[in-house]
Amino acid sequence: MPNVLEVQDVSKSFGGVHAVQGVSFSIRAPGIYGLIGPNGAGKTTLFDIICGRQFADAGDIRLGGACIGCLPAHRRTRLGLARTFQECRVLDEETCLDNVLFAAQDKRLRSELAQGISRRGQGTATLEAQRLLELVNLRHLSGELAGNLSFGQRRLLEIISSLIAQPRLLLLDEPASGINPTLLNTLHDFLLRIFAERQIVLLIVEHNMEFIMSLASRILVMHQGRLLEEGPPALVQSSQKVIEAYLG
C-alpha cells in the first residue's frame, strides 16, 4: 500500500527567509505523530504547504500515493485532508451544532436550494455531530452560540468540526494552546479515542511537550526550516542535537 503522506524535498522561501528547506519524510501507516520545534522552525509553513494554503517552491506532496502538490486546498480536502489553525476558527454567530454540521456539508453543492436545506435535517450527520459534541463534553451546549464559549471550548469545537467529514489525514496546529488542564485532559482522551475508532493519521504541531510525548508514537523535529530528527518520543527526548536546538 502507498504511504499515507509523503513529503518530498519540500522548500519554501519568503524573500530572503528560507522557511522550509528540503524537508522529506513519510508517514506509512495510521497513527498519532508529533511535529515539534522552536518558533520560526517552519512547522506552520509546512502545514500550509501540505494542505494547499501555500505552494512549495520545490518538492512535492503525496497523499495515499497521489501527487497533490499542485492541487488547490479544496481539492485536497476532497481527498481526505483536513486541518485546524493556531488562531482557532469557528463561526461565532452559529450554534455549536450548526458549526459541526456546516463542516459536514459538501461544499461542492452549487444549488442554492440544496445549500438552503436545514442543516438539522441531515440525519446521520446530525447524530454524528451530537456524538462528537458529547465526546468533548459540549453536548449540553449544542444550541449555544460558539462565540459564547470559552477559548478552550471553541478549540474543541473546531477540532470536532474538522473530523465530521471523516478525513484520513488531520493536521492539528497547536491544539493544546490556551486550553486549561481539565479541557486538555478531555482533548487528550478524545484524540486517542478518535484514532482508535477511525485509524487515521493525526499530525500534530505542539509546544506542550508533556501532551505530545504522551500521545504520539513518532516525533518529527524541525529547526531552522530543516528536519533535524525523527523517531519515537524517547529517542527524540534523549537526542543531543534536539536538546541543544530546542528542548534544552
Under DSSP, the state recorded for 246 is I
* The predicted structure's pLDDT at residue 109: 45
From the centroid of its chain, how far is CA 48? 11
| Alpha-carbon gap, residue 107 to 23, rounded angstroms | 32
| CATH architecture of the region 1-80+167-248 | 3-Layer(aba) Sandwich (3.40)
* The predicted structure's pLDDT at residue 247: 79
**Model pTM score:** 0.92
* The predicted structure's pLDDT at residue 123: 77
Tell the residue number behind the cell numbers 524517547, with chain if given: 234
Q: 157 with 149: CB under 8 angstroms?
A: yes
Cβ-based neighbours of 117, under 8 Å, separated by 6 or more: none
Instruction: Provide, rounded to the nearest whole percent, the portion of the chain with pLDDT above 70.
Output: 93
- Tens of pLDDT, residues 177-204: 989 999 999 999 999 999 999 999 999 9
How much is the mean pLDDT over the chain?
Answer: 91
| Alpha-carbon gap, residue 50 to 81, rounded angstroms | 9
pLDDT below 50 — which residues of the chain?
108-121
| Alpha-carbon gap, residue 90 to 153, rounded angstroms | 11
DSSP 164-205: TT--SEEEEESTTTT--HHHHHHHHHHHHHHHHHH--EEEEE
| Alpha-carbon gap, residue 218 to 230, rounded angstroms | 7
Q: Where in the chain is CATH 3.40.50.300? A: 1-80+167-248
* The predicted structure's pLDDT at residue 186: 97
Q: 152 with 143: CB under 8 angstroms?
A: no
